[in-house]
Amino acid sequence: MPIHELRESIEQAEVQLDSSGYAIIQKKINLLPGQRHTMVQCDIFQDAIMTSNGAQPFFVEFFVTPMPVVYSDMQFSGNIPATYVNRGPSAAVDIVLFKAILSSQNDAAGAPLQQLMNEKTFPNQTLGTIPTFSWYTPELYLTAIVHGFEEDVLNNMALSFYIAIDEKKVSKLQAGLGIVREGQQAQGMTLVSQGRMISKARNVGQVFPMWKHGGITPERMLNANALADFFIAYHAADSAEKTMNTGDIRTFVRAANQMQPTGTAFGSLDPAKGQVPDWVKMDLAPGLVAGPLRSQWPPNKYFDNGNVMTL
């Protein structure tokens, strides 16, 4: 399987931000069509130190995607409503093959703000050295979304990217369906709201009862004086087995189906049978489910050669 290595960069002497402190820089790379591309290794490198004319904090979202990045309606930072808006898609979106966030910092008093990468990448350095994501679109887009202050200017942007791609030829159907899927995903992530809020008071014991009660849910056992009403009696080697009391067994089964509050053993306390556990209803005799058992099965009939006839 051929490995295709790419080394590309985005370089701009000046990046002019708009009235909302926003800018998008993008570069397109063509790949071989009809292939399933798998990312084998990836890495990003900052070739130069970026500065801001306005000495204001700024951030860069860097993406590698098979489709153009569509910015979302979600904010990059919720603390300052007037700026840092319209962030790109989350790293969890399937079309995001690589994402990095670069944040500015001031190394010394009075020094200009400098754009330094603090290893905020997805996949991280460990995952970036092994095969990760696959895609079918014969393109790659390098996209840098800049979040800053209005009408600011960023100087000396230079970012290099390395990616090793494993290419495998696939059918036209597989490649076509993959491209359609990736195109739909690229257009559907403008606003995401998922997960649910849980108050502290309601969190305990919501899913696992042992969280609330400090251990496994208690179990019930059968009373010894009622065992004869439940188990099947064995009469002799040559005779059929017959339940002692079908009605009592069904009483057990009904009691075993009773649900109980959290922290209480499953099953119910029957007045006559005692505490009936929920596991009694498992592995029941067929007659208790499909109808009464006949007292004696039909006699076997044989062929002349001694084989039993199957009716």
DSSP state letters, 8-41: EEEEEEEEE--TTSEEEEEEEEE--SSEEEEEEE
Distance (Å, whole) CA 185 – CA 65 = 11
Return the domain boundaries, the chain.
3-187, 203-290
Q: How many residues appear in the chain?
A: 311
CB atoms within 10 A of CB 5: 10
Q: Per residue in 89-123, pLDDT tens?
A: 888 888 899 998 888 765 555 555 555 555 578 88
pLDDT in tens, the chain (311 residues): 578 888 999 999 999 988 888 899 999 999 989 899 998 888 888 888 888 887 777 888 999 999 888 888 888 876 665 678 888 888 888 889 999 888 876 555 555 555 555 557 888 777 766 788 899 999 999 999 988 888 888 888 899 989 899 999 999 999 999 999 888 888 777 777 777 787 777 766 566 656 666 667 777 887 776 666 666 555 555 655 555 667 777 788 888 888 888 777 888 877 877 888 888 888 776 666 555 556 666 778 888 888 888 76
Angle at 7 between CA 113 and CA 106, to 5 degrees: 10
User: Which helix H or strand E contains 309, and what residues bound it?
Assistant: none
Distance (Å, whole) CA 236 – CA 233 = 10
Instruction: Look at residue 230 in the predicted model and tell me its pLDDT.
Output: 63
Instruction: Look at residue 113 in the predicted model and tell me its pLDDT.
Output: 53
Distance (Å, whole) CA 262 – CA 204 = 12
Contacts of 265-268 spanning 24+ positions with Cβ under 8 A: 265/217, 265/218, 265/219, 265/220, 266/217, 266/219, 266/220, 267/220
Q: Which two tokens stand for residue 111?
A: 């020094």
Instruction: Look at residue 69 in the predicted model and tell me its pLDDT.
Output: 87
